[in-house]
Amino acid sequence: SLLVGGIGVMNIMLVSVTERVREIGLRKALGATPGAILRQFLVEASMLGVTGGVLGIGLGVVGALLLPRFIGQPVTVSPLAATAALAVSLVIGVVAGVYPASRAARLAPIDALRSE
What average pLDDT score do residues 64-91 get?
93
- pLDDT at 72 exceeding the cut of 80: yes
- pLDDT at 28 exceeding the cut of 80: yes
Burial class of residue 33, CB neighbours in 10 A (0-12, 13-18, 19+):
exposed
Q: Tell me the C-alpha distance between 12 and 92, whole Å.
A: 13
What average pLDDT score do residues 77-106 get?
94
Band the pLDDT of 111: cuts 50, 70, 90: confident
- pLDDT at 104 exceeding the cut of 80: yes
- The predicted pLDDT at position 19 comes to 92
pTM for this predicted structure: 0.85
Query: Contact 21/115 with Cβ under 8 angstroms?
Result: yes
Q: How far is CA 2 from CA 7, 16, 61, 70, 91, in A?
A: 9, 21, 19, 28, 11
Residues 58-93 as b/e (b if ≥16 CB within 10 A, e otherwise) read eeeeeeeeeeeeeeeeeeeeeeeebeebbeebbebb
In this predicted model, what pLDDT tens digit does every residue of 5-14 receive, in sequence order?
Answer: 889 999 999 9
